[in-house]
Amino acid sequence: MTSSFPGGTSLSQLDVYDDAASDGVCGGSPHMHLVSTEAYIVISGEGSLQTIDGAGFRETTLVPGSVVWFTPGTIHRAVNRGGLRVIVLMSNAGLPEAGDAVMTFPAEIVSDAAAYAAAASLGDASDASEARAERAAQRRDLAVAGFETLRDAVLDGDRGPLDAFHRAALALVRDRSAAWGDLVQQGPLAQARNSLALASAVAEGSAAHLADARVHDALAASGERSFGMCGRLRTYDVTDRGNS
């Protein structure tokens, strides 16, 4: 029996950046996802999640045991106030890696695809870790600058800059989004269809699939943690590997 991680999600461990951004706040690069929902499960440390959505600006406290999730379009910034480490569950596994995220760079950068790509780049994967860390900090500071503009506007009751950011983000990802539907079809939709088939089988009196039950272990990726938008990431391999 072919299986997949619950919900067709991806799983990673995030150590939120602990260096200070241009505004003196320690944490990651504010950004949003256009299609995927994300969840944080806090396992250690403390901090907060700063968000901008249709309801305005909000700051949610994060402590061990906190669980917070946010839907597509929620601009979010992870703030580290001491050793903040979270488990991240992301819907539509593979889709964020396919470009379902836009950082809140200033408007003149988000509206220019070439300028955005240059600002978002961490350089070549073979570059020294120190150089990639420096670029991660630079793009974080740019994203914070744009985030402050959006935050201040919504706090003043002005949605204009936020609406403009949404339009620019759509323009940035639209060309590459054509393949996203396939990822959803192969991931969460396929799993939902399989669950429906199993429910129908049980209702019809068949439990044949129970004989194929297996345990699956998620292996953490080996090697150096990657530089994510919010911090250093260690992803888990949750592909179908059944153990007898």
Summarize pLDDT for 76-110 with one digit per residue, the tens: 999 999 999 999 999 999 898 889 999 999 999 99
- Per-residue pLDDT averaged across 130-144, rounded? 96
Evaluate if pTM is beyond 0.85.
yes
- Per-residue pLDDT averaged across 113-135, rounded? 92
Measured CA to CA, the distance from residue 25 to residue 79 in angstroms comes to: 7
Helix axes 129-155, 113-120, angle to 10 degrees: 130
**Rg for the chain, CA atoms, rounded:** 20
For residue 14, pLDDT beyond 60: yes
- Per-residue pLDDT averaged across 158-183, rounded? 96
For residue 4, pLDDT beyond 50: yes
Mean pLDDT lowest among 7-11, 34-38, 45-49, 228-232: 7-11
For residue 241, pLDDT beyond 70: no
User: Of 121, 40, 39, 113, whose CA–CA distance to 72 is shortest?
Assistant: 39
- Single-letter residue type at 192: A
Residues recorded for the chain: 244
Measured CA to CA, the distance from residue 165 to residue 172 in angstroms comes to: 10
Mean pLDDT lowest among 34-43, 160-169, 231-240: 231-240
For residue 244, pLDDT beyond 50: no
Average pLDDT of the chain is 93
